[in-house]
C-alpha cells in the first residue's frame, strides 16, 4: 500500500509542469500615392497617418469543481467560480467556498476550502503579475483546492491535498501571443476511516504495521498507469493537464489540477460514471477592432458568510458573453444544495439563463433571468419560500437610447408551517412575525431590490440577512443585464 501511494504521489508531483508557445504575426507595408495634373506628374503630399491602435480583449475563468453525471448528462454548478468577461481594462474577481459535500446525497466526494481568481492586466500592471516587460495585454486565472476526500469518511478512502492550477495568456507589444499552464497535486494518502488507527499508522516507524494491516487488502486494488490512479470498484484519478490553443488573432490556455471519475453501478469505466474536474483555470486573449457590447449575468443564489470573509460560489451562475449569444439562451443549473454544508440554508433546484439579440446596426437586447424552486432557512418548519423568479432586461436602440425593465415573482411562503403573503413577510412587525423570524436567525428580508448599473440594470428577487453572528447575506435571483453603446 505504501509503495502504491508513494507512486501515486510521485506521479502527481511529476505532473506539475508548464508549456509555452508563441505564434507569428504579419504586417503589411505602407504605400505612397502619385497624382497627375496637366500631364505633369506631381508627387502627392504624404498624408500623416493616424496611429492605429490594436485592440485586445482579455478574459478568463476559474473554479474548484464541476461535475458531469453520467448517462443523464447533467452538469453541476461550478464551485468557487470566478470570471472576467471580455474586457480591455484591468479587472479581477476572486471567490471562495468554505467546503462541504459536492454531490448532494453522495458521501464519496467532499471538499475543503476552494479558492479561485481571474485577473486581466495591461502594460506595467501585467508585469507586476510576472508577465514579460513587453506585454501589451494579459489574462491569468488560478484555482486552489485545499483537500479532497474520495470515499466515505467512516470507511477506506483517499485524501488528496494541495491541488493547484494556473493558466496564463498574453500578447506582446509586437503582437505575438503566448500561453503557459501550471498544475500540481501535493499529496495523495490512504485512510482506513478509523481515526485512532489512522493516527497510529501515520506515526513514524510504523510502516510495517501499515503493510501488515492493509498491504494484502488495499494495495492490489490500486494501480497507476499513464498518470491515472485506478482504485478498483471506486474510480479513477487523472493527474493534471494543460492545453494551449493559438491562432492568428487569439490565444487560449487551459489547466486542470485533477480529474476524478467515480464508477457507476457497473463498478468500471463506462457511460454511467460521474466525472469531476478539480482546479480548472482558463485564460484567453483576442485581437479585435470591435469590442463586445453585451454584459451582465444571472445567478440563482449568491451568499456572503462570516461577515464577508468568505463567499459561496454563485449558484447556477451564467455570465453574458460580451459578443452575445446570437439569440440563443445560455443556461446553467444545479440540483439541491446545503449551503456550505452547515444546514443553515437549504436550496432546491436552481436555474439561470441569459440571451442577447441584435447587432451594432440594429436594436440590441440583453435578458437575464433566474429561478429558484425552493429555499428553506431553519429547516422545513422554518421559513420556506417557493417558486422565486427574477428577470432583468436592457435594450439600446439604433440611436443609442437605453431602456431597462425588471420583473420579480415569489410563489408560496410559509413560516413554521403557516402560509403568509409576501406583504406580511416584508412587514413582520405588523403581521406578528418579527419574533418568529428572529428566532430563526433572520434579521431582515427585502424583495425586488434594484441597483444602478452602467449601461443596464440589476435586480435581486429576495435579499435575506441573518443574525446570530453568522453574518450572512443571502441573495436569491441576482440578475443583471447590460448593453453598451
Q: How confident is the model at residue 18 (pLDDT cuts 50, 70, 90)?
A: very low
Query: What is the per-residue pLDDT across 296-311, written as a single tens digit (0 to 9) for each?
Result: 999 887 776 544 444 5
Query: What is the per-residue pLDDT across 318-355, written as a single tens digit (0 to 9) for each?
Result: 889 887 888 999 988 766 555 544 456 777 778 899 99
Q: How confident is the model at residue 382 (pLDDT cuts 50, 70, 90)?
A: confident
| pLDDT at residue number 33 | 42
| pLDDT at residue number 385 | 93
pLDDT, the chain, mean: 77
Q: Can you name the residues that pair with 301 across neighbouring β-strands? A: 315, 476
| pLDDT at residue number 112 | 81
| pLDDT at residue number 304 | 66
Lowest mean pLDDT among 42-51, 88-97, 474-483: 42-51
> Who's near 306: CB < 8 A, 6+ residues apart?
98, 470, 471
| pLDDT at residue number 213 | 40
Average of pLDDT values for 175-193?
85
Q: How confident is the model at residue 289 (pLDDT cuts 50, 70, 90)?
A: low
| pLDDT at residue number 221 | 43
Lowest mean pLDDT among 148-162, 216-230, 256-270, 347-361: 216-230
Query: What is the per-residue pLDDT across 23-42, written as a single tens digit (0 to 9) for each?
Result: 333 334 444 444 444 555 45
CA 446 to chain centre: 27
Average of pLDDT values for 230-238?
75
- Whether residue 154 is predicted with pLDDT greater than 80 in this model: the reply is no
Regarding pTM above 0.75, the answer is: no
- Whether residue 471 is predicted with pLDDT greater than 60 in this model: the reply is no
Average of pLDDT values for 354-376?
91
In the 8-state DSSP scheme, what is residue 439?
A: H
Between residues 174 and 306, the one the model is more confident about? 174
Q: Delimit the domains of the chain by residue range.
A: 1-13+54-289, 292-485
Lowest mean pLDDT among 84-88, 272-276, 367-371, 469-473: 469-473
- Whether residue 401 is predicted with pLDDT greater than 80 in this model: the reply is yes
Q: Three-state DSSP class for 8?
A: helix
- Whether residue 458 is predicted with pLDDT greater than 90 in this model: the reply is yes
User: CB 272: neighbour CB atoms within 10 A?
Assistant: 14
| pLDDT at residue number 313 | 52
- Whether residue 74 is predicted with pLDDT greater than 60 in this model: the reply is no
DSSP string, 265-306: TTSSSSTT-EEEEEEEEEEEEEEESS---EEEEEEEEEEEEG
C-alpha grid cell, residue 223: 494501480
Between residues 130 and 32, the one the model is more confident about? 130
Average of pLDDT values for 473-480?
90
Q: How confident is the model at residue 420 (pLDDT cuts 50, 70, 90)?
A: very high
Residue among 366, 294, 296, 374 nearest 338 (CA): 374
Q: How many helices and strands in the chain, by DSSP H and E? A: 7, 33
Q: How confident is the model at residue 118 (pLDDT cuts 50, 70, 90)?
A: very high
Q: Which residues of 208-241 are buried (b: 16+ CB within 10 A; e: fewer)?
A: eebeebbbeebbeebebeeebbbbeebbbbbbbb
Query: What is the per-residue pLDDT across 185-229, written as a single tens digit (0 to 9) for each?
Result: 888 777 767 777 666 656 544 443 334 344 444 444 445 556 677
Between residues 380 and 326, the one the model is more confident about? 326
Amino acid at each position: 500500500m505504501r509503495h502504491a501511494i508513494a507512486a501515486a504521489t510521485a506521479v502527481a508531483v511529476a505532473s506539475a509542469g508548464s508549456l509555452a508557445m508563441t505564434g507569428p504575426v504579419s504586417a503589411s507595408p505602407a504605400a505612397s500615392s502619385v497624382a497627375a495634373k496637366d500631364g505633369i506628374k506631381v508627387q502627392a503630399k504624404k498624408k500623416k497617418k493616424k496611429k492605429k491602435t490594436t485592440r485586445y480583449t482579455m478574459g478568463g475563468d476559474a473554479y474548484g469543481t464541476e461535475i458531469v453525471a453520467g448517462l443523464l448528462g447533467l452538469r453541476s454548478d461550478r464551485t468557487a467560480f470566478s470570471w472576467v468577461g471580455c474586457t480591455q481594462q484591468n479587472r479581477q474577481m476572486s471567490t471562495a467556498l468554505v467546503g462541504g459535500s459536492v454531490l448532494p446525497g453522495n458521501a464519496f466526494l467532499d471538499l475543503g476550502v476552494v479558492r479561485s481568481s481571474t485577473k486581466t492586466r495591461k502594460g506595467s500592471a501585467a508585469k507586476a503579475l510576472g508577465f514579460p516587460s513587453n506585454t501589451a495585454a494579459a489574462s491569468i486565472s488560478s484555482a486552489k483546492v485545499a483537500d479532497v476526500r474520495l470515499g466515505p469518511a467512516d470507511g477506506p478512502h483517499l485524501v488528496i491535498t494541495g491541488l493547484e492550477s494556473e493558466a496564463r495568456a498574453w500578447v506582446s507589444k509586437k503582437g505575438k501571443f503566448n500561453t503557459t499552464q501550471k498544475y500540481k497535486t501535493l499529496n495523495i494518502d490512504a485512510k482506513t476511516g478509523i481515526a485512532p488507527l489512522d493516527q497510529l499508522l501515520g506515526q513514524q516507524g510504523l510502516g510495517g504495521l501499515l503493510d501488515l494491516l492493509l498491504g494484502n487488502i488495499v494495495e492490489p486494488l490500486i494501480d497507476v498507469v499513464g498518470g491515472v490512479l485506478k482504485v478498483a470498484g471506486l474510480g479513477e484519478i487523472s493527474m493534471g493537464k494543460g492545453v494551449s490553443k493559438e491562432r492568428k488573432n487569439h490565444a487560449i490556455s487551459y489547466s486542470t489540477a485533477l480529474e476524478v471519475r467515480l464508477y457507476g453501478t457497473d463498478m468500471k469505466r463506462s457511460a454511467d460514471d460521474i466525472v469531476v474536474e478539480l482546479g480548472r483555470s482558463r485564460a484567453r486573449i483576442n485581437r479585435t477592432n470591435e469590442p463586445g457590447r453585451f454584459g451582465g449575468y444571472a445567478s440563482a443564489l449568491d451568499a456572503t458568510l462570516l461577515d464577508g470573509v468568505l463567499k459561496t460560489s454563485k449558484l447556477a451562475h451564467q455570465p453574458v458573453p460580451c459578443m452575445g449569444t446570437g439569440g440563443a439562451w445560455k443556461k446553467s443549473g444545479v440540483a439541491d444544495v446545503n449551503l456550505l454544508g452547515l444546514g443553515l440554508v437549504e436550496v432546491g433546484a436552481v436555474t439561470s439563463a441569459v440571451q442577447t439579440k441584435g447587432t451594432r446596426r440594429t436594436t440590441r437586447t440583453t435578458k437575464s433571468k433566474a429561478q429558484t424552486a425552493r429555499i428553506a432557512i431553519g429547516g422545513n418548519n422554518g421559513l420556506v419560500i417557493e417558486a422565486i423568479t427574477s428577470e432583468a432586461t436592457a435594450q439600446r436602440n439604433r440611436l443609442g437610447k437605453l431602456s431597462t425593465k425588471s420583473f420579480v415573482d415569489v410563489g408560496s411562503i410559509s413560516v413554521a408551517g403557516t402560509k403568509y403573503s409576501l406583504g406580511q413577510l416584508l412587514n413582520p412587525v405588523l403581521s406578528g412575525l418579527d419574533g418568529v423570524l428572529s428566532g430563526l436567525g433572520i434579521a431582515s428580508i427585502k424583495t425586488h431590490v434594484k441597483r444602478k448599473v452602467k449601461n443596464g440594470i440589476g435586480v435581486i428577487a429576495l435579499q435575506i440577512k441573518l443574525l446570530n453572528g453568522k453574518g450572512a447575506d443571502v441573495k436569491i435571483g441576482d440578475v443583471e443585464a447590460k448593453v453598451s453603446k
